[in-house]
Structures are given as structure tokens and as C-alpha cells.
A and B are shown apart, each in its own frame.
Chain A
Amino acid sequence: MQWETVIGLEIHVQLATKTKIFSGASTAFGAAPNTQACAVDLGLPGVLPVVNEEAVNMAIRFGLGIDAEINQVNVFERKNYFYPDLPKGYQTTQLEKPIVGAGHVDITLADGSTKTIRIHHAHLEEDAGKSLHEDFHGMSGIDLNRAGTPLIEIVTEPDIRSAEEAVAFAKKLHAIVTTLGICDGDMSQGSVRFDVNVSVRPKGQEAFGTRTETKNLNSFKFMEAAILKEVARQIDLIEDGGQIIQETRLYNGDTGEARSMRSKEEANDYRYFPCPDLLPVMINDERLAKLKADMPEMPDAKKSRLIAQFGLSEYDAEILSADQATAAYFEAVVTACDDAKLSANWIMGELSRSLNQSNIVIADSPVTATMLGGLINRIKDNTISGKIAKEVFEVLWQGECNSADEVIDKKGLKQVTDTGTIEAMIDSVLMANAQQVENYRAAEPEKRGKMMGFFVGQCMKASGGKANPGMVNQILKQKLDG
């Protein structure tokens, strides 16, 4: 039987506010346990929450970034359950009246076509603390530094049909929140976390199959692997005559193992009700208009502009517009060298490879946009060849010099373009290879092309790669062919 996969995502995005959603405590990551939890975060008796307006602004910006309705009156509710890292015994979140209503995110599929993924809504909520189960000999430690960190939870419609689409969506969403500057995008520290709802159904069937939810996937790779594994499990189970149980599952990215966490029957009754300590959030027209006016160029618009303005291919534009830092870097390189195609090639080639190898983000690249632009300028004016340029890049990457010119100067990599010098060099190569010259001249014109390569190689070698390859070719041809 042919199976169709149906996926809906819930994404938790940690907002890049300085302080928590309901208290003045810092949200910085990595501090000693419980040093960034104030009386409010600890849920002490008598404390009260006050909404962080910056978090509200960020949620609004997200809504504007996905063409969603902004609910100008939205309400915080309490989701009640007991857990040691949930200090108040409830999570303050939104349910009936979330801040962001229906919107959409468009993704580009492998065949170049565009697909729209509908967003059901997005709401503001607070994060819980962390339970630490190691190091305490049969007890658990509680770190409440993260408690009260502002999140938006984004809920999609079940519009996604494959792991590949899910990853494309996740990357696009990542691009949106980082472009908006509402999230640092650091997935390794949990700034963006995905819950995937997966079901399968026979192709052509309208009714959805029973779904499972796999929680807390914090990389694109893990998400893809978890989906593929779950889809295969469900299909195997059904084809073996089994039934899917609605349940929450956990996927361990390190081991690739997945297991059931709890079934629907064990699910809590969260007893949601409007939080009486907080008034409804009211967003007036003026505030909304101001936030609209401050919106940055979103990835889709940026992509269109890169194509129109620089003549980039769809593919190049998609990659370069995927995050704010890459796009900004690209535009800075183009400003420095005025060659969009070469800029794109270098960023997506040499730079991207080096960044990946060293596992650093583009904003921290040791080769700045100005440096790369300068390098490309020297290629364009024939000061160096493309091959030498890679050497120059490597030196810049190692941080030994501050500009391509400095590298070229210090290492004497300037291309040789003086006709007399090149001629003299060619003459000595031809003299040293008299037999090959004879063979060449005796050969049929069709075969000469291949033989020519030998002489070019010898000449370039003799020049230490610095001779201008175009000139070498031209002069060699004149001398050999007479």
C-alpha cells in the first residue's frame, strides 16, 4: 500500500528579551543554578507577575512576519499541573485568546515549487525550570534559572507531508525568527525546539490516522531522523495488523532511539482558566502601527530582492536569505567588490565550508565581509588567479593578515602579467621540452588541444602559479603554432 505522511509541528521559540516574561530576572544562559531566579520565578507566596512588554512586542513582530492576525486583546491563562521544576504548580500560557492568530509560512520544495504551510496560531508563555537527575544520589536537583523565560509556541496546521518538508519549514521558521531578531536561533542551547505530530494514512484517504507526538527535538537533523523513524514505525505497525496509540514519545538524538513517554489516558487535565493576576493584554492601533513600521525585510522579500537586484539564481538567493547574518554578510561583500555572482560563490563555497569545518557562525567569521570583498577585487583585476585566491583566503582565515592585499604582498603572490617575463619563462619551458614541442607540431590540430595543457601546466609550475593563466595560454599558442 502507498502511505502518506501527515505532520504538524509545534515550535517553542525562546524570545531574546533581556529579562523574563513576568519578572525582572535575567534570561542569560549558563549561569550557576538558581542564581537567575527571583522571588517571582521561585513562585514564593504572595508574588505577582507583570508582563514584559518587550516579549509582547516580539510576539507581535512574529505575527506580522508571518502575515498573521494580531489579536489586540489576548489573554494569559494558567495551565495547572504539578512538577518540581514548575514552581507555581501552573504554567502561565495562552489558550482561548492567543496573541497571534492564523498566518502562513511558505517553503520552497526540492523541485523549486512553493508550498504554503498554514500556522494555526502562536501564543506567549513562560518556560519551566530544569530538573537535574544526575549528581544527587536518588534525588533530583532543580534549577529555576530558565523558569519564566519567555517563549512563543507556534502551532502549524497538519499541512506537512514529509520529513523533508518539515525540515524546509523548520529552516524557514528559523530564518524568520532570526531575521526578526526575536530569537538568537541557537538550537544547541534550546532556543528553538520542535515537537512533531506524526500520523500516516493510505494515500487518497481523507481521514487522518492516529497521531503521536515526539517532543523537544532541538536540531534539524534530529527532527528529520525522528520523523523518518516514527513514520517507518507506524507503517510497520499498521501493516503488521497493529494499531497506533495516541501517545507522547521521546527521541534520543545521540542514540537514535525512540520510546513512548505517556499515552493519552495518562495525560493531565490541565484545568486551564484565565490568570486572575494578569489583565488581558491590550494592543492599541498605535503600538501595532509602530511595530509594523519597524519590520525588517523578511526572508521571502529578501530572496525576491536578491534575485531582482543582483541577478542571483533562485537557489543562491534562497540560501543567502535564510538568515539575517548571512544576508547581511553577502550584501556587505557585494558592496565591497561589486560582483554579486563571485560574492555568492565564495560565501556558499569556500567560506561556508570553512565555517562548517570550524563550527562557527558567519557573524564570527575571521574573514570579514570587507576582507572577502577585497579578495574578490584582486581576482577581478587579475592581481591573483582563482587558485591563488584560495591560498589567500586560507591565510586570511588563519588570521595572519588583515587584508588580501597584505597577504599578496607579504607572500609575493601577485600574478605575473608582464609579457616579457611570461615570454622568457615560456621560452625556457619550450627549450627544456624540445621533444614535446616537436611532437606537438607534428600532431593533428584536433589532438593539439590536449597536448597544450601539458605546456600550460609546466609554465604555471615554473611561475609558482603566479603567471596569468590567460596570458600564458595566449602566448604559448602563438609560439607553438607559429
Chain B
Amino acid sequence: MYDKTIAEQSRALTRGELSSVELTQSYLDRIRQFDGDINSYITVTEELALDQARAADERRASGDAGAMTGIPLAHKDLFCTEGVKTSCGSRMLDNFIAPYESTVTARFKDAGAVMLGKTNMDEFAMGSSNENSYYGPVKNPWDKAAIPGGSSGGSAAAVAARLAAGATGTDTGGSIRQPASHCGITGLKPTYGRVSRWGMVAYASSLDQAGPMTRSAEDAAIMLNTMAGFDPRDSTSLEHSVPDYTTTLNDSLEGLTIGLPKEYIAAGLDADVEKQIDRSITEYVKLGAKVKEVSLPNAGLCIPAYYVIAPAEASSNLSRFDGVRFGHRCEDPQDLMDLYLRSRSEGFGEEVKRRIIVGTYALSSGYYDAYYRKAQQIRRLIRDDFLDAFKECDVIMGPNAPTAAFDLGAINNDPVAMYLSDIYTLSVNLAGLPGLSVPVGMANNRPVGLQIIGQHFAEARLLNIGHRLQQVTDWHLQSPALI
């Protein structure tokens, strides 16, 4: 059953064809068998998972089960989980046992889902390859020489390798969509404010958003049903009604207008990736959609704007890791300055330090107007570009990344090249829009995903569009050779 979708597992559990304990055990066995190599988990909570599975089976027997009851999930290791290590992929939090539960994981707990463990990630969600983890890189299950993408690389790899039925991820600049794309799975970044950030360790607060990473769009809809909704503890979460995302999955795509930004076909876009994207759009035309060229004139500015705003917020968000109250503290500090300097120098990795320094600089007196304020202005332009484009189309489609997954170590020493690989995903976060990645084929034997960008709160429509493609194609059903 580990190879089935959440929807199928849920039906099987309902029909009594298997128990959550059996299902959970099968994933735990696979984790033991394969994850030593893939490295998608930082922590596996075996006992807790089996306890939760037993509770889920009882709950199902008592007739009080929902779609998520008994489904084994993996959570990105930046959701605080009470009593369980929450490391954020960092040495800084290697010793941090969260004393409280994030809203996202609490909602899954309440729904009766099982937590298999916490997944690997780029340190503090900063990275596009999952190579910036204190716990080592994650391998792409499709090709172990390749990166899985980042920062939710562990979640993507775990779902792709069938080491979890589904996973949570977070996306600040593409960290759900890009690894989903690279690992041949489905990933949704919801509208900013759709899912509560309470208990999600912050990277860049105005951009961070949690979402599901699954085998299919239908599974993403099932998970989002549990995740989405207003949370009084998150001032940026929005009081917008939550539909049942599964009920509109089969809606017709007749008359759907797909916008194709001319700026997206740029130099650097891999020809094989482009081909897979074109072919998937042809599928949509067959399903009744129309195609229209649109323009996002400021699209190219998303990289400089993002790499000012996100590090600026991060430099402040990560100030609390000072060795005083929790997290890494250096041995035998001589005085306060020594405590700060060594705790932070030892606790943070290179990329985190780089972004703290960049962000600190961007906010400094005398530079604020030139960097931070300017970046915020660009952010508004980018958002306006999208809103203008949506006057002419319903959704925008394009790639998630210029290439399929690159090799581990290939550009890890070239931060700018790494940043440039985010060009297709960053602007969606800057505009606060929802974006879905669905698998649409292979390039050089590595998966390619199609990015579908919608208007604010258009998650139901995006999932519908993704689901309809998955009714006529089987890319999402294919599994890596190791399975």
C-alpha cells in the first residue's frame, strides 16, 4: 500500500483492507531500508508513529475518522512538534526539543494523521538543493547523483521514494515547488496567509508559507483541507472561508485561459524542460483550455528583490538564536560577546551566515533606502504585474526551474548560480500567490514539473487543473527505480 496515494490508502483504511498500524509499519520498514542512503529524515519517530497509528485505528473503529485519519506523514523539520526534536537542519537547534506544537502539525494530529518523523531540509530553509543541511545532503531518489531540490528536499525525497504517504513543506522562494518538481511529485504553495505560520520556525516571515507535498493533486487537496484556515495566533493568517478542495477536482477546464509569460522562455531554460512544459500545455488545450501570451515585465527583478527582502527578515528572525535561552551554546563562554560570537559562529552554517550578513547590510543605516525600501517597491511592481496579467488569463503556467535537478555539488560553491536557479519561483512568493507544481515528464532521466500560478485564494482551481492533467497522464504515478 505504500505505493498508493493518500486517497487510495484512506479508502482502503475505511474499507478495513488494512490498518494504519500495518501501513505505518510498512513505511517505517522502508525508511530503515532506504533512508540511510537517501537521508530524507532527520528524526524518525517510530514509537510515536505506531502509537498514533493504533489510536487512529481505534478512532476509525469508533466511526470517528476523516480522510487523514491513520495516514502516515512526514513533517519538515521546521514545524515545532511538542516533545520531538525540531532542528531546522541546523546545528543551532540540534538540541532543541520543541515545547509546543505548530498549528499545522496540531491540525494533522487532531485529524488523526500519523507522524513518521521530521524531514531533512536546507538549514533554516535557506537553499535550493538541500546541500545546506547540518545533517548532510539528501539524495534525489530518481538519481542519487542529483540534488532533490530545496529547501523542502527531505519532504520531496521522502514522498518520491515512498517513505511517507505525504509530507508538509514550506515555501519561501520555491522551497515546495522546486523540490516537488525535481522529485517528480506534486507540491502546492498556498496563498500567503492561507495556512498558519504559528510554530513554523521563521525564515522570511512575509514570504514563508506551508503547503502539502504529495503524490497527486487530489492528495494535496486532501492535505490542504486539514492545513488551511484562519488561526488567531498568526496575525498574517487570513479570515477567508476554506472550501472542500476535493469537491472541485473534476471541474471542467473548458474555457480556461492559460497565460504564458513571454519572459519565462529565457536564455538558460533547458530545451528538454521546455519541451515537457510545452507538451503538458498541449494536454491542457486538449482538455478545452485556451493559451494566451502574457507579460510579466518585472519578472527578472524578482531575484535581487527576493535576495534583499528574505535575508533582511532572516537577519532579524535569526537574532533569537544567541545561545542564551535555547539552542547551541558554545563551551565555556568568557563573556557575553564571546557567548554570542562563538555560539552563532558554531551554530550556523555558511549559507545562513551569508544571508544574515547580506540582510544586516541591507537594513543598515544609510543603505536601507537603496536596498530594503527599493526591494519592497519592486515587490509591489511584481505583484501588480501578476494582477495585470490575471486580467487576461485565469492561470499562468511555466517551469519551476530552468533545468531538471543538477548534480550534487555542482554549484554548491557558487551562491549566485544557486540563487539564479530560483528565477521561476521567487516572484510567486513576492506576490503572495498560490503556485502548484505537477510532474510532467523527464529531462535527462530526471523529473520535470509544470508550475501553475493562480490568483490569490485560487488553490481549489489550481488543484482542479492539476488533477485533470493527472487524469489523462501518468507522470505522477511513476516511481523511481529504487522502489
Residue positions of A touching B, CB distance < 8 A: 39, 42-51, 78, 80, 82, 84, 87-90, 142, 269, 271-273, 276-279
Contact = CB atoms under 8 A, between A and B. Distances in A.
A310 to B, nearest CB: 49
B88 interface: yes
Given A39-B99, A39-B100, A271-B365, A48 B322 contact: no
Contacts of A276: 204-206, 236, 313
A44 B100 contact: yes
Given A80-B316, A84-B324, A89-B319, A277 B201 contact: no
A82 B205 contact: no
A45 B96 contact: yes
Contacts of B93: 45
Contact of B363 (A39, A46, A51, A273): A273
A360 B404 CA distance: 77
A177 B300 CA distance: 53
A90 B321 CA distance: 12
B198 A47 contact: yes
A256 to B, nearest CB: 29
**Most-contacted residue by chain A among B200, B316, B322 (CB, 10 A):** B316
Given A80-B363, A82-B322, A279 B100 contact: no
A132 B125 CA distance: 36
Contact of B316 (A44, A49, A89, A278): A89
Given A51-B235, A82-B322, 19 more contacts: A43-B320, A44-B80, A45-B86, A45-B88, A45-B202, A45-B320, A45-B321, A46-B79, A46-B98, A78-B316, A84-B322, A87-B324, A89-B316, A269-B364, A271-B315, A272-B368, A273-B312, A276-B206, A276-B313
24 contacts: A39-B99, A43-B325, A44-B80, A44-B100, A45-B320, A45-B326, A46-B197, A47-B199, A49-B235, A78-B316, A80-B315, A82-B319, A84-B322, A84-B324, A87-B325, A88-B320, A89-B318, A271-B315, A273-B312, A273-B372, A276-B204, A277-B202, A277-B235, A277-B236
B99 A48 contact: no
B102 A273 contact: no
Contacts of A39: 99-100
Nearest to B339: A84
A84 B365 CA distance: 23
Contacts of A272: 363, 368
Nearest to B78: A46
A50 B232 contact: yes
A87 B80 CA distance: 18
B34 interface: no
Contacts of B320: 43, 45, 87-89
Contacts of A49: 235
Contacts of A51: 235
Contacts of B98: 44-46
Given A45-B86, A277-B205, A271 B363 contact: yes
B279 interface: no
A211 B100 CA distance: 48
A51 B235 CA distance: 8
Contacts of A44: 80, 98-100, 326
Contacts of B319: 80, 82, 88-90
B432 to A, nearest CB: 12
A50 B233 contact: yes
Interface of B: 78-80, 86, 88, 93, 96, 98-100, 102, 197-202, 204-206, 232-236, 312-313, 315-316, 318-322, 324-327, 336, 340, 360, 363-365, 368, 372
B340 A82 contact: yes
Nearest to A49: B235
A39 B320 CA distance: 13
Contacts of B79: 46
Contacts of B200: 46
B368 A273 contact: yes
Contacts of B206: 276
A406 to B, nearest CB: 56
B236 A279 contact: yes
Contacts of B96: 45
A94 to B, nearest CB: 15
A46 B324 contact: no
A253 B129 CA distance: 59
B107 to A, nearest CB: 15
A199 B360 CA distance: 33
A2 to B, nearest CB: 38
Nearest to A80: B316
Nearest to A279: B235
Given A39-B99, A42-B325, A273-B368, A48 B316 contact: no
Contacts of B340: 82
Contact of B102 (A43, A46, A78): A46
B197 A48 contact: yes
Contacts of B336: 84
Contacts of B202: 45-46, 277
Contacts of A50: 232-235
Given A46-B80, A48-B234, A89 B198 contact: no
Given A46-B200, A48-B197, A90 B316 contact: yes
Q: Which 7 A-B pairs have the closest CB atoms?
A: A89-B319, A271-B363, A276-B205, A276-B206, A45-B201, A46-B199, A43-B320
A82 B458 CA distance: 41
A277 B200 CA distance: 12
Contact of B235 (A46, A48, A271, A273): A48
A46 B201 contact: yes
Considering residues A45, A46, A90, A276, which has the most beta carbons from chain B within 10 angstroms of its beta carbon?
A45
Contacts of B318: 89
B98 to A, nearest CB: 7
Contact of B360 (A43, A45, A271): A271
A237 to B, nearest CB: 29
Contacts of A87: 320, 324-325
B118 to A, nearest CB: 13
A92 B235 CA distance: 14
A367 to B, nearest CB: 48
A32 B396 CA distance: 57
B218 to A, nearest CB: 30
Nearest to A85: B324
Nearest to A24: B233
A318 B198 CA distance: 51
Contact of B365 (A43, A269, A277): A269
A87 B327 CA distance: 13
A271 B315 CA distance: 10
B330 to A, nearest CB: 14
Nearest to B92: A45
A47 B86 CA distance: 13
A276 B192 CA distance: 12
Nearest to A83: B336
Nearest to A271: B363
A142 B324 contact: yes
B360 to A, nearest CB: 7
A301 B189 CA distance: 57
A273 B80 contact: no
A89 B201 CA distance: 15
A42 B364 CA distance: 26
A269 B362 CA distance: 12
A282 to B, nearest CB: 12
Contacts of A42: 325
Nearest to A131: B336
Given A47-B198, A89-B316, A278 B322 contact: no
A80 B318 CA distance: 11
A115 B466 CA distance: 71
A343 to B, nearest CB: 50
Contacts of A90: 316, 319
A269 B364 CA distance: 7
B239 to A, nearest CB: 12
A353 B322 CA distance: 52
A90 B205 CA distance: 15
Nearest to B197: A48
A229 B98 CA distance: 51
